[in-house]
Structure 1
């Protein structure tokens, strides 16, 4: 059931039969692009357990936090995610506006058609908002990718993580570092399950299906002969002068290689204000999952301020430079191919020099990032609810 109205329909029939005490009804929450590759393998694992006779059901709740096709719909199609059972269609707005809309609309849904468990992933606004709405109705919450911390409270995502973990019942962690963070915060060990990384489940499954974007031919790209850049954090893109300095540092130290920059919507307007005109800089529209990761896999290096991309580059063995002072994914630096450069654009010159001299570290893959995380999560849920 998908609706387009501002509020939920007055009458919502229960999505599932609650007559069996042993059945668990799970709401899987997705709202923004980083969520989609994390929920796809969980849904697949639930379906596999259903085929084996497990009395488990789910409804997919799309909050509509990301509503642009390139930021949302394209991922559903490419990753084989089913149509949402409900779309809350909250649209754009400030952090507070989106949080309020999501909480109100998800609460209304739960009051008319409750679930047994609210499963949230990652650290976007939808994750926090739905967790709060569910918990206030005494519905249990499971957080996938729990316990990661950057220590930077200027990041909205860090606040989302902390609030969500403060009210979560079941914590599924990507690393032992994340598990330790939860233990230190007072969470009981029996609530924490170190399972690995669902985003890597999707990456490993889809890797054989990566496909060249159209620009591959038009720009005459070749493997390891271009750089990929992604920037969206306010500290990097909100001030035109700073953004210009940063991009110029990349251009000036790129050895003339093509620079492919899929532009996040919040960044496009700022770039137009910089007046940058470099022959090897190519700003392009956001891409689908399969096309973007084809570019990443074949890149000389990636320069980013995203957290999730650092995980993907680590698994694919691609050098990665992160333009942030902190990271909630330290394993990508201590184990993987990522290096934290900080927010000073001048750090790019020595980093790129190191790359072109062939001195970048090789890296390794963190424990349990093996493509089987979602299966472990679903089996643990079945055990927890004694299905």
Structure 2
């Protein structure tokens, strides 16, 4: 019997965890217990995902964060997770991706000599200003089992000096593809005004939200696009916190506040300035899947949405200067935009020329970079190795 403690804290991790949570239930020699760091504690980013994805409720729940910077938040998580790990005494801890919760779980587990299983290992953007890049690199260095979604991710680890003598590096396929396939039939239309033609846009990366000038430039591009094609913009609390409250009933009264430090007129933005953007609160995974299924395109700085756009045959404009998913860039299924207003508008206007139907074209020779059935492979390899 192998006891695994899975450490989760943020919206993308709840979604990814649903895949392995389902798979583990078919393996009686694996028991999974979930610890929730409360990195995302708002209902729209937290509880609703456990409910609609039928994810096993957490046995351990950390209190919501009470302010402080990133290092202080990680330190609080570490202190609480140490107590949990000493009490639970798992055979291994399992972490996903690149969040602060991932790093906290990996650091504590390493100090307590508990093997670490890292899902989505080997992804690299090579932008070392991103907290996520620091988190994923450190976690990879500490992990015992590294499950890579693609061959490129595995090669990244090998190029950094990791070898089978130090750890186990396995190309497992992509659990997000498993989830996209599994939950697609259950997609639900969100309760917001939706026109026949629309695009899905999201922003939450610190590099875009903590610089109000940069955020304004991107929103201005979306505003221009919205004059011709509806732009549906679900607001992450980090992004919503950059906006001034436009009055009662705007749907963002409880959004977290983030101090403005970039001197952009020493003000917050106003949603009323962007009349052609359909702002919405955070949406559930099933509602997001519905939008992905019906959107003309996706404009995002999210890593996960880049891949999900590809899974649902939608072109993606990446609102960053780099991406962890180099395969999509090389194949022409996604284009890097940065925060260049004119480039975003022009590229969107020329999408029909850039992305010829049917999309995506058959640019990949076998094997496809994002293969499915990852959950079963990961479960089998955990049993085999541990």
Compute the TM-score of the two structures, normalised by the length of structure 2: 0.87
Match of 1:192 in 2: 169
Determine the C-alpha separation between the residues in 1 that align with 2:66 and 2:346: 39
Matching residue within 156, 167, 188 for 1:211: 188
| Preserved contact between residue 228 and residue 303 of structure 1 (Cα < 8 Å) | yes
Match of 1:29 in 2: 7
Asked if the contact 2:202/2:299 (under 8 Å) is kept, the reply is yes
- TM normalised by structure 1 equals 0.87
**2:349 equivalent among 341, 349, 353:** 353
Q: How does 1:189-338 map to 2 (within 5 A)?
A: 189=164, 191-215=168-192, 219-222=193-196, 225-254=197-226, 256-272=228-244, 273-275=268-270, 276-335=272-331, 337-338=333-334
Task: Give structure 2 stretches of 5+ with no counterpart.
Answer: 245-267
Indicate if the aligned counterparts of 1:232 and 1:266 stay in contact, CA closer than 8 A.
yes
Aligned residues: 353
- Secondary structure of the corresponding residue to residue 183 of structure 1: helix
State the partner residue of 1:65.
39
State the shift of 1:95 in Å.
1.1
C-alpha change, 1:292 and 1:343, in structure 2 (3 Å) is same
Shift, 1:244, TM fit? 2.4
1:336 is displaced (CA, Å) by 6.3
- The 5 A counterparts of 1:43-54 are 43-50=21-28
Answer yes or no: is the 8 Å Cα contact 1:175–1:367 preserved in 2: no
Partner Cα distance (2:341, 2:232) in 1 = 18
Which residue does the alignment assign to 2:99? 124
The answer as to 2:79 corresponding to 1:104 is yes
Any conservation in 2 of the 1:210–1:290 contact (CA below 8 Å)?
A: yes
Q: Which runs of 5+ in 1 are unaligned?
A: 1-22
Root-mean-square deviation (Å): 1.8
Matched, 1:177 2:152: yes
CA distance, structure 2, for counterparts of residue 45 and residue 351 of structure 1: 40
Shift of 1:220: 4.5
* Most deviating of 132-141 and 338-347: 338-347
**How far 1:92 moved relative to its partner?**
4.7
The 1-side partners of 2:274 and 2:56 are apart by: 42
Cα distance in 1 between the residues matched to 2:93 and 2:178: 21
CA distance in 2, matches of 1:114, 1:25: 8
Does the 8 Å contact 2:172/2:378 carry over to 1? yes
Name the counterpart of 1:74: 48
Change (3 A) 1:238 1:206: same
